[in-house]
Amino acid sequence: MANAPASAATSREAALAFGLLCLVAAVLLVAFLSITVGARPMTLETVWSALAAFNPGSTEHRIVWDLRLPRTAIGLAVGAALGLSGAVLQGATRNPLADPSILGIHSGAAVLVVLGVAVFGITQLSLYVWLGFIGAGVAMLVVYAVASLGREGATPIKLALAGAAVTAAMQSVTSAILLTSPRTLDEIRFWQVGSLAGRDMAIFVQVAPFLAIGAVLALATGRMLDGLSMGEDVARALGQDVGRSRAIAGLAAVILAGAATAAAGPIAFVGLTVPHMARAMTGPNYRWILPYSMLLAAILLVGADIIGRIIAPPGEVQVGIVTAFLGAPVFIALVRRRKLATL
């Protein structure tokens, strides 16, 4: 009889592992859809031949390689990064509504990008990426540092407060600069909305290392997050170094979210809602929540991008808008659920 719980646990693990495989398959499927679907419809054979036997002369092959493949790759990477980042933040801060935008990451990236465009006349997207990344990193460090002062460390309320403060200050500066430079405004208003359009492979290559490092770091924090989820006192009693765990988690989150925002602009709601969906499937164990969040977010982001491409022909709706409109109802439904833990 003592074996019964053990076998129940193993079968649960097996089910979760199987689910993970299904998600991987779904990722491949949605990636494929992303390459196939678009303003210029293509057949499966065209896509296959573009991938397998590239012909530089064919416009369609060029579209696949120069436009859709990079777009899909970046979409998957950015989605995965946002999902992971949100999950790590929620676990580390025990705040079910933590999200990169709460910690000033989006506004930090924005202010530096705006400065770069206005002051240094930077127009290349690949250079935006560096600016955005640095801005996001600095903002989050400031927020985290301020919120950590004092005995209790960075509690959810203090983080949210510090994030709100830093965000507001940076938004003021951003608005002031934009008001004085119409040229910058014209550039930024498209970046600001969060989009995968116009990004080529160079961008992907730029952010990929950061995303990879961030992802490895994040996935490694699974056990630490499980510990933190029981509360600091219990975690310490079990021998965990709470400060160090939070620092590593924070670092992973900022690398991921910073790089993602730098590549695609600020995209809201993904980091916020996907971890909840993952948790609904996997239960409270972070070793599973993290990879599920990563894959689910990748699928959702690329899916949102596909929707954006087909919903308003001949133009397209940026992915940041689609995620907002899809994510908001989910978020509201989440808040209305009785069992949501308090801040």
277 binds other proteins (CB under 8 A): no
Question: Pick from 71, 158, 276, 279: which binds other proteins (CB under 8 A)?
Answer: 158
Q: Which is nearer to other proteins, 95 or 293 (CB)?
A: 95
Q: For the purposes of burial, counting CB atoms within 10 Å of the CB of 116, is it exposed (0-12), middle (13-18) or buried (19 or more)?
A: buried
* Number of other residues whose CB lies within 10 A of the CB of residue 53: 8
Question: Pick from 24, 115, 127, 161: which binds other proteins (CB under 8 A)?
Answer: 161
- For residue 281, the one-letter residue type is M
For 181, the token pair is: 């430079």
Which of the ranges 39-47, 227-235, 277-285, 317-325 carries the binding residues for other proteins, by CB under 8 A?
Answer: 317-325
- For residue 19, the one-letter residue type is G
Task: Supply the DSSP symbol for 65.
Answer: I
Which of the ranges 22-30, 71-79, 274-282, 331-339 carries the binding residues for other proteins, by CB under 8 A?
Answer: 331-339
Closest among 253, 244, 265 to 100, alpha carbons compared: 253
Question: Pick from 176, 202, 220, 311: which binds other proteins (CB under 8 A)?
Answer: 176
**Nearest 5°: phi and psi at 239?**
90, 15
CB of 37 to other proteins, least distance (A): 21
Question: Pick from 26, 127, 164, 212: which binds other proteins (CB under 8 A)?
Answer: 164
Question: What Rg do the C-alpha atoms of the chain give, in angstroms?
Answer: 21
Query: What length does the chain have?
Result: 343
Closest among 197, 264, 261, 201 to 38, alpha carbons compared: 197
133 binds other proteins (CB under 8 A): no
- For residue 41, the one-letter residue type is P
51 binds other proteins (CB under 8 A): no
247 binds other proteins (CB under 8 A): no
Interaction residues for other proteins, span 135-154 (CB under 8 A): 146-147, 149-152
Q: Which is nearer to other proteins, 170 or 218 (CB)?
A: 170
Which of the ranges 34-42, 215-223, 251-259, 324-332 carries the binding residues for other proteins, by CB under 8 A?
Answer: 324-332
335 binds other proteins (CB under 8 A): yes
113 binds other proteins (CB under 8 A): no
CB of 172 to other proteins, least distance (A): 3
Contact mark string toward other proteins, 79..108, x via CB under 8 A: ------------------x---x-------
Q: Which DSSP string do the residues of 143-178 spell out, in sequence order?
A: HHHHHH-STT-S-HHHHHHHHHHHHHHHHHHHHHHH
Which residues neighbour 61 within 8 Å (Cβ) at sequence distance 6 or greater? Answer: 46, 49, 50, 54, 55
Q: Which is nearer to other proteins, 189 or 223 (CB)?
A: 189
Task: Supply the DSSP symbol for 102.
Answer: T
CB of 5 to other proteins, least distance (A): 26
CB of 276 to other proteins, least distance (A): 13
Q: Which is nearer to other proteins, 8 or 157 (CB)?
A: 157
Q: Which DSSP string do the residues of 23-64 spell out, in sequence order?
A: HHHHHHHHHHHHHH-SSS---HHHHHHHHHS--TT-HHHHII
* Number of other residues whose CB lies within 10 A of the CB of residue 151: 4
CB 138 within 8 A of CB 169: no
Kindly list the residues in this chain that would bind other proteins in the complex (CB under 8 A): 97, 101, 146-147, 149-152, 155, 157-158, 160-162, 164-166, 168-169, 171-173, 175-176, 178-179, 182, 185-186, 189-190, 192-194, 268-269, 317-318, 320-321, 324-325, 328, 331-332, 335-336, 338, 342-343
